[in-house]
């Protein structure tokens, strides 16, 4: 049975959007996330807001697609996204409120055995922070543009066997609002894990 001609482009587009199939890409970048945004911040104070927890469980939220989160008195909903590029473009998913805002992305990183000695790489535009299993690993407190290999790093990172909760927080003061995360094992991207978008 042949599908109608008009349906095929839609199927191709959907396949492309979900191309990672629960895995990091070849360069180690995570592209499947649960997204929570936007949360307005104090204008021009991204450096202060990156260290402020806008909701109580920010470091290890129970993120689930469709679930609501109260953030600074505002109700936001977790959304499942897949990114075509190596980074999250928060503005793409929040075109109406792209500046003086904070956003969060959660991925459940699943490994079959404990893996230690990893390096976590963070990139962000502007301020960024990464938590792993409730612990802050690395942050950047200034404004900048996103450059693929200009990353802040946390060394000696361990992924425990089973599910690990990875949280990326990115603040945008103005212009672009982007962020990315990947792991390295020595000099090579670490890709031997699954990425889930449900707890």
Which of 4-13, 21-30, 92-101, 105-114 has the lowest average pLDDT?
4-13
What integer pLDDT is reported at residue 20 of this predicted model?
58
**pLDDT tens per residue, range 56-105:** 999 999 999 999 999 988 999 999 999 999 999 999 998 887 899 999 99
Please state the pTM of the whole predicted model: 0.89
Evaluate whether 157 touches 120 at the Cβ level (below 8 Å). Answer: yes
Domains detected in the chain:
7-196 (2.60.120)
Cα gap 8→179, rounded to integer Å: 32
Structure tokens at 20: 């990672």
Evaluate whether 33 touches 81 at the Cβ level (below 8 Å). Answer: yes
**pLDDT tens per residue, range 129-176:** 999 999 999 999 999 999 998 889 999 999 999 999 999 999 999 999
Which of 14-18, 37-41, 78-82 has the lowest average pLDDT?
14-18
Show Cβ contacts of residue 47 under 8 Å, excluding neighbours closer than 6 positions.
Answer: 127, 141, 142
């Amino acid at each position: 049975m042949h599908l109608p001609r008009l349906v095929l482009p839609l199927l191709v587009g959907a396949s492309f959007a979900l191309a990672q199939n629960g895995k990091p890409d070849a360069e180690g970048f995570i592209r499947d996330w649960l997204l929570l945004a936007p949360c307005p911040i104090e204008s021009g104070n991204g450096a202060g807001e990156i260290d402020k927890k806008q909701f109580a469980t920010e470091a290890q939220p129970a993120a689930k697609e469709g679930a609501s989160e109260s953030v600074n008195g505002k109700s936001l909903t977790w959304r499942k996204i897949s990114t075509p590029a190596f980074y999250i473009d928060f503005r793409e998913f929040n075109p109406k409120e792209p500046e003086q805002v904070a956003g969060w992305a959660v991925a459940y990183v699943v490994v079959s055995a404990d893996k230690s000695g990893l390096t976590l790489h963070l990139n962000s535009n502007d301020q960024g922070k990464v938590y792993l299993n409730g612990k802050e690993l690395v942050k950047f407190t200034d404004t900048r543009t996103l450059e693929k290999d200009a990353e802040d790093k946390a060394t000696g990172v361990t992924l425990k066997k089973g599910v690990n909760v990875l949280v990326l927080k990115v603040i945008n003061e103005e212009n672009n609002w982007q962020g990315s995360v990947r792991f390295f094992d020595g000099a090579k991207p670490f890709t031997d894990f699954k990425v889930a978008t449900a707890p």
